[in-house]
Structure 1
């Protein structure tokens, strides 16, 4: 299966057009929220709390998808599915990839002309 792009440029272009100068504020909010979601996911895995992991992945998927962070959203879908099935070890394995893709998305969102 082909991996989605880091960012969905169609979504980014539309958001930039709609939000104008406020787009940078949206990106900063996404970055803060994403860091909190990653921390909450780690806590859910540490506590062996599949439902909390599912909820955090679901919320992170939504915010990522809304901002066009396609790979982050795709990884969140996988984590959410594993957590729903109670397979926290499989979900936890994806955390490093999720963190890496989140960093890439944030970097590209903050780089003029990249998104």
Structure 2
């Protein structure tokens, strides 16, 4: 991954430095995990659960996605998914579902950056 991609990720709210620290300073390993994020099925599970209106599956999938994004330093995605998990747990599934478009927009932005960076 080149410097421009790293800077673009940082501008999009990605904590690349903190994530590399979580990967024991191994930036190559972090890059491989970011590349795998593009094909990770978790976001699809979140999307499917909300499309089906399945509150329990939405909670489980969104919680899993939250953890994935936290580990990768995808702060914007983490913040939105964390809010969604809190809303569902607080009994406001409707508000969580209403936040899903924000999550999708942020997800598409990050994936677009990663796709360009790994070409």
Asked if TM exceeds 0.5, the reply is: yes
TM-score by length of 2: 0.71
Provide the secondary structure at the position in 2 that maps to 1:18. coil
**Aligned Cα root-mean-square deviation (Å):** 2.5
Query: Does residue 1:30 correspond to 2:51, yes or no?
Result: no
Matches within 5 A, 1:74-113: 74-109=79-114
Provide the secondary structure at the position in 2 that maps to 1:86. coil
Alignment counterpart, residue 58 of structure 1, candidates 59, 63, 83:
63
Distance 1:41 1:65 in 2: 16
User: Cα offset for 1:63?
Assistant: 0.8
Number of equivalences = 106
Unpaired stretches in structure 1, ≥5 consecutive residues: none
Sort the Cα spacing of 1:53 and 1:24 in 2 relative to 1 into closer, same or farther, 3 A: same
Bigger drift between 94-103 and 84-93 goes to 84-93
TM-score by length of 1: 0.73
User: Cα offset for 1:13?
Assistant: 4.2
Bigger drift between 79-88 and 63-72 goes to 79-88
